Every structure is written in C-alpha cells, then in structure tokens.
Amino acid sequence: MRSTEPVASVALLSSNPCPLELKRLSGKFVLLMAVDRTKLPDNQVINGAQNLVDLGLCYLCVWGPDCERIHDLSKEVIVPRNPNESAETVIMTTWHDDEPLSEAVGYFRDCSWPAENICEPVL
C-alpha cells in the first residue's frame, strides 16, 4: 500500500557527489540523478552514495552516461546497510541508460514509490 504522505523529490544536475541542496533536506527522499559521471572515480561515487543514504535516500533513479556503474556502486553501499531487506524496507534503485531523459523523468514521477516502511512522511 502506498503512503499518501509527501516525500521530498529532487532532480539533480550536478557533478558534486552530494550537493548542498540535498544537505538541506529533512526526512526521507526519492532522487532522480540526471548526470554524466563518467569521469568520477568509483570511490567518489561510493562516498556520494553513502552521503545520500545517510541523508535519507529511499529510492534512487539514475540517468545519463555511465548510469549503470553509478547504480551498481550505489547498490554496493545500500545492500550491506540493510541485510534483512524485504519488500517493505528495500531502498529501490533503477538506471535508465537507453531512454531519453523525458522517459526517465516520467518513470521517476510515476513509478518511484518508496517501500512502505522505509520512508516516513516529510513534515
């Protein structure tokens, strides 16, 4: 069952692993990361993913060049933090490499519903 409470949604167009805009959020959020990170080393992607999870990430969509690598490295951070993951507690992640940005945004808008027990409402 989907919560009807709002969850902060953010679209990101930056090369910074965790921009200031995200640091100002309070509560859980879903994120569409639309960025070219082909030149960003793995350790910076991993550090960025750790920061995002610490800030309250509960659903991640990645679009742009090298988005599958960004997705996979993010999962390397997320999975060990939730060893007893279930359908109610999973932090979902998707990558969208073979579609235009407009379709990734549409997916994000229509389908990026966080797991029921992972995101409390943002007040």
**Tens digits of residue pLDDT in 59-103:** 999 999 999 999 999 999 999 988 888 888 899 999 999 999 999
Q: How big is the chain by its Cα radius of gyration, in Å?
A: 13
**Quick one: pLDDT band at residue 8, thresholds 50, 70, 90?**
very low
Strand order from edge to edge, sheet including 8-12: 8-12, 29-34, 57-63, 92-96
Within a domain: 36: yes
Within a domain: 123: no
Domain count, the chain: 1
Within a domain: 20: yes
Q: What per-residue confidence (pLDDT) applies to 120?
A: 53
CATH number of the domain bearing residue 44: 3.40.50
Structure tokens at 28: 């859980």
Within a domain: 122: no
The residue segments making up the domain with residue 41 are: 8-111
Within a domain: 116: no
**How does DSSP assign 33-101, residue by residue?**
EE---TTS-HHHHHHHHHHHHHHTEEEEEEESTTHHHHHHHHHHHHHHH-TT--TTT--EEEEE-SS-H
Within a domain: 117: no
Q: What per-residue confidence (pLDDT) applies to 23?
A: 59
Whether the model clears a pTM of 0.75, i.e. scores above it, the answer is yes
Within a domain: 121: no
Q: What is the β-pairing status of strands 92-96 and 29-34?
A: unpaired
- Count other C-beta atoms under 10 Å from residue 92's C-beta: 16
**45 or 7, which is more confident:** 45
Q: What is the pLDDT of residues 25-34, one digit of tens each?
A: 667 888 898 8
pLDDT of residue 13 exceeding 90, the answer is no
Distance in angstroms between the alpha carbons of the first and the last residue of the chain: 20
**Calculated CA dihedral for residues 17, 22, 27, 30, nearest 10 degrees:** -70
CA-CA distance, 86 to 82, in Å (whole number)? 9
Q: What per-residue confidence (pLDDT) applies to 19?
A: 56
pLDDT of residue 16 exceeding 60, the answer is no
